[in-house]
Structure 1
Amino acid sequence: MKIAVEGCAHGDLDNIYATLQHLEHTENVKIDLLICCGDFQALRNEEDFESLSCPAKFRSMGSFWKYYSGVERAPYPTLFVGGNHEASNYLWELYYGGFVAPNIYFLGFAGVVKFGGVRIGGLSGIFKQGDYRKGHFERVPYNDSDIRSVYHVREYDVKKLLQLEGAIDVFVSHDWPEGVTQYGDVQQLLRHKRHFEQEIEENRLGSNAGKELLHKLKPDYWFAAHLHTKFAAVVPHPNSNKATRFLALDKCLPHRRFLQMVDIPAAAGPLEFTHDEEWLAITRAYHPYFPLTRQPMQLRNPLNLAAQRQWVQKRLGERGSAISMQFTMTAPPYQANQPRGRAGQLPGHVRNPQTEAFLEFLDLPYLLDHASESVPGQARVALPGPVETDPNEIPLEDDDAGPVEADPNEIPLEDDDAEVPENGALDTDDIDELESRSRCSVVDPDEIELCEDED
């Protein structure tokens, strides 16, 4: 199976898909699946900016809204995890995973699915120790603190992934597993990112939770992004004959290494997203302990995963394993021809029909709107109306707004060595250069790198 892997998408789906189509034409290959490693930015309309942790000067609608509204259709099945620049209100609707647009699947805050015989696991968000043991307490509309903590990795989701026993072919995260740099060319990394040196020396670069997952799950491949650079490594696993091929990629900009194609051996299976039996059993077992306050998960009784797996096997036998593709819009799409407006009253939590169907499939109660106002089935939002904007208004997130405590894991949208276009997207004149920079041949599983480094 030929899988295209992309780093930080930042909402630029038009250019990403155009690049893949160019690759198919020039390399005479057929891409089966696109995997994006976070900062996807599934912005449906301007209301979603209120749930996106991003300085106002870097806000751009991008092109996802076209695929959400049906103006365009994703030409490739697309799977992604969340990062630290997301429309968190929308992703929370699909906490367990689901289609954010036709043919574009969000893996959830943590999840495992199969695609064409390839078993794919993933974890959304970035690691921050101070929030790790907390529950998912944030609720829409987010305040200035919760808009950042909502995407921090939680122990509950990691514990669920650590229960997996079956082999994982591909694991996807946004930030890197802690310590992975010792297995690759760290000197080359430091030539591109000198400011990582101290964190690498102190073994602080990356996610501690990711490190635990890497050495427990031992996936064949681990794909990530977040640090806006390309880095490859091969991580051996002692006392086993396995090794994980790790690859981090850049963001979608000209002259950047943001895309790679990997050819992965796959068991026979339909090229569609299907449920994973073991993951469904884990989801059922952990559901009663879902922490929805600042308090950590309290596991009061031993988990009987065997009994849950038997239940899931029976249910899959009755209803099948294919994930329903009945996508439903839960907010009005952006209207490009409408004057730019100011977001109105923010809605409460929206019950996404896909999530309701998933929980009904597993015979589980709906908990995502616990202690919050929710709107079953549809959002209480209206298209924004035209207003005059104040150019002197300084948002709280802006880098000129005052001193804040820096978090080394919070990689901002602005990159230290790249100029971001004013509108946040690529010009059409840049596409040919972007395509030529990312054009590489398909590789076999033993060769994680596609292109030789230019320096």
Structure 2
Amino acid sequence: MKVAIEGCCHGELDAIYSEIQSLEQRNGYKVDVLLICGDFQAIRNYRDLQCMAVPDKYRQLGEFWKYYTGEKVAPVLTLVIGGNHEASSYFWELYHGGWIAPKIYFLGHAGCVQVNGIRIAGASGIFKPQDFRRGHYERVPYNHGTMRSIYHIREYNVRRLSLLSSPTVFLSHDWPQGIEHHGDLRYLLRRKPHFRDDVKKGILGSPPLMDLLHTLKPDWWFAAHLHCRFEARVMHGPPAQAESIGQSGSSVTAAGENPDEIAIEDGGGEGAGEAAGSERPRSTPAPEVANAADQTQPAAPVNPDEIMLDDEVEQVASPPPPPPPQRATRFVALDKCLPRRQFLEIVDIPEPAEHQSSVAGEQTAPVLSFDPEWLAVTRAFHSYMPTGPSQMMYPEESAAREAVEKELAWVKEHVKTTKVEECQAFVVTAPPPNPATDSGNPEQGQQPPHHPNPQTQAFCSMLEIENKIDPR
């Protein structure tokens, strides 16, 4: 499946879709799905602008409202997560995920879905330690503090995501903390020298996201936020074998080295996939770690026609078993959508055999489905969802996983279909703008009221859980 990944959107949907169409025409393929790693800015009207934490000069209506009203339609299925510059009122209304416009789906504050069987999980927002262990207490109208804290990632969502089995793709806005040491750090600091102090202090990125990366071990991890393209590879395996691959494909960080050290061998700065505005060769695979068995003499060949006596069988040496393959997470961060920036990339991700997207050579529309395991996690952890300032006491991991297994059996029995379109349908909940008259209306300087979204109620009804987003 052809997957396009965008870094920070900043409302530039027209430019992003135009770049995708240009790549399709130039290379003769069709993109199946677009993933956007935050700062999407789903602004429905001028009042939504008052819920976005940006300087006044950046409070612009943008282009999303045309997709929201149907004046324009996304040319490709688009999945998005939230960043730190969002119309937070709209994303709260779809906390569990939902269609924010036709063919544009928000994964929620945390979520996991499937596209043709490929599991795609994501976490919205950025990490701030003072809010990580707080509840979801923010409500419109936001003040200066809550307008920002609402997009700070919570422990509740990290714990829920940690209960998933490995997804193929994970999306975040923040970088996982320490990911810079698994790539070409010298290249990164040449491009972004102001990162140097944070790297030295070990505070660049999000600590809980790095924990998630090591727990979930996805094949791909895509991020944005820091406005540059950066590639890394995290190897998952025994400490003696784990190593990291820089942008040139060479080993740059071995187990046991100081992760805060900046003096790292320079790499070539090349990456995988197709980046907008540049042609990039694929990185070379990681060199295999030498096995001790490789240093021994090869065993003598065994004659298949020889008759072996019982007491001779044990004397014939059998070849050593091959070492287990190492798993790796390929990390790619992308820039924001601006001319001559590396903001878009195309990668090929194989579909499971039972979810082929083409029939008799003809490409069919990708199918968006709920992930049954995530539905089970949602049911198992819903009673712990904090809607006040304080979080609740969470169960031990073993108990939480047992609860997920129990709820997965419930999901398989009671959820008759996992196709998203058969549960949730896009609905216009807030009035669209009238650019000719609204910009001068004093009321447009006010924050919007809360708009209950039928998609949230439909999701909660499907899982038979309380709708805590739209309390009666």
TM-score range, shorter chain: 0.7 to 0.9
> What are the equivalent positions in structure 2 for 1:373-452 lying under 5 Å apart?
none
The 2-side partners of 1:199 and 1:280 are apart by 37
Identify the residue that residue 427 of structure 2 maps to in structure 1.
Answer: 328
Identify the residue that residue 208 of structure 1 maps to in structure 2.
Answer: 207
Q: Is the 8 A contact 1:79 1:107 kept in 2?
A: yes
Identify the residue that residue 258 of structure 1 maps to in structure 2.
Answer: 343
Residue 319 (structure 1) shift: 3.7
Structure 1 pair 344–336 and aligned structure 2 pair: CA distance change class (3 A): closer
Pick aligned residue for 1:308 from 385, 407, 429: 407
Identify the residue that residue 445 of structure 1 maps to in structure 2.
Answer: none
The 2-side partners of 1:93 and 1:56 are apart by 24
2:367 matched to 1:272?
yes
The 2-side partners of 1:307 and 1:211 are apart by 28
Identify the residue that residue 149 of structure 1 maps to in structure 2.
Answer: 149
Identify the residue that residue 71 of structure 1 maps to in structure 2.
Answer: 71
Identify the residue that residue 421 of structure 1 maps to in structure 2.
Answer: none
The 2-side partners of 1:339 and 1:34 are apart by 32
The 2-side partners of 1:117 and 1:285 are apart by 23
SS in 2 for 1:25: helix
Residue 26 (structure 1) shift: 1.0
Kindly provide the CA deviation profile for residues 39-90 of structure 1, in whole angstroms up to 9, marking residues without a partner as x. 0000000000111001111111111111000000000000010000000000
The 2-side partners of 1:5 and 1:193 are apart by 22
The 2-side partners of 1:300 and 1:208 are apart by 21
Aligned pair count reads 369
Q: Is the 8 A contact 1:133 1:296 kept in 2?
A: yes
Residue 94 (structure 1) shift: 0.5
The 2-side partners of 1:171 and 1:339 are apart by 39
The 1-side partners of 2:417 and 2:112 are apart by 19
Q: Is the 8 A contact 1:251 1:258 kept in 2?
A: yes
- Aligned residue type for 2:409: Q
The 2-side partners of 1:152 and 1:194 are apart by 26
The 2-side partners of 1:254 and 1:22 are apart by 14
Identify the residue that residue 132 of structure 1 maps to in structure 2.
Answer: 132
The 1-side partners of 2:448 and 2:20 are apart by 36
SS in 2 for 1:89: helix
SS in 1 for 2:336: coil
Q: Is the 8 A contact 2:125 2:153 kept in 1?
A: yes
Kindly provide the CA deviation profile for residues 226-284 of structure 1, in whole angstroms up to 9, marking residues without a partner as x. 00000000111123711100000000001111010001111142612101111000100
The 1-side partners of 2:128 and 2:418 are apart by 38
Residue 164 (structure 1) shift: 1.1
Residue 143 (structure 1) shift: 0.6
The 1-side partners of 2:228 and 2:459 are apart by 36
2:449 matched to 1:354?
no
**What are the ranges of 5 or more consecutive residues in structure 1 without an aligned counterpart?**
375-455
> What are the equivalent positions in structure 2 for 1:103-252 lying under 5 Å apart?
103-165=103-165, 167-239=166-238, 241-252=326-337
Q: Is the 8 A contact 1:102 1:325 kept in 2?
A: no
The 2-side partners of 1:345 and 1:58 are apart by 17
Q: Is the 8 A contact 1:3 1:261 kept in 2?
A: yes
The 1-side partners of 2:126 and 2:463 are apart by 28
The 2-side partners of 1:190 and 1:345 are apart by 42
Pick aligned residue for 2:393 from 298, 302, 326: 298
Structure 1 pair 300–243 and aligned structure 2 pair: CA distance change class (3 A): closer
Identify the residue that residue 41 of structure 2 maps to in structure 1.
Answer: 41
Kindly provide the CA deviation profile for residues 15-42 of structure 1, in whole angstroms up to 9, marking residues without a partner as x. 1101111111111111000000000000
The 2-side partners of 1:247 and 1:115 are apart by 20
The 1-side partners of 2:128 and 2:447 are apart by 27
Residue 369 (structure 1) shift: 4.0
SS in 2 for 1:246: strand
Kindly provide the CA deviation profile for residues 337-367 of structure 1, in whole angstroms up to 9, marking residues without a partner as x. 3351332554432210000000000001111
- Aligned residue type for 2:186: Q
**What are the ranges of 5 or more consecutive residues in structure 2 without an aligned counterpart?**
239-324, 358-365
| 42-51 or 318-327, larger mean C-alpha shift | 318-327
The 1-side partners of 2:450 and 2:432 are apart by 17
The 2-side partners of 1:229 and 1:284 are apart by 38
Q: Is the 8 A contact 1:52 1:147 kept in 2?
A: yes
Residue 335 (structure 1) shift: 2.1
Normalised TM-score (structure 1): 0.79
Identify the residue that residue 424 of structure 1 maps to in structure 2.
Answer: none
The 2-side partners of 1:320 and 1:141 are apart by 35
Alignment RMSD (CA, Å): 1.5
Q: Is the 8 A contact 2:47 2:448 kept in 1?
A: no
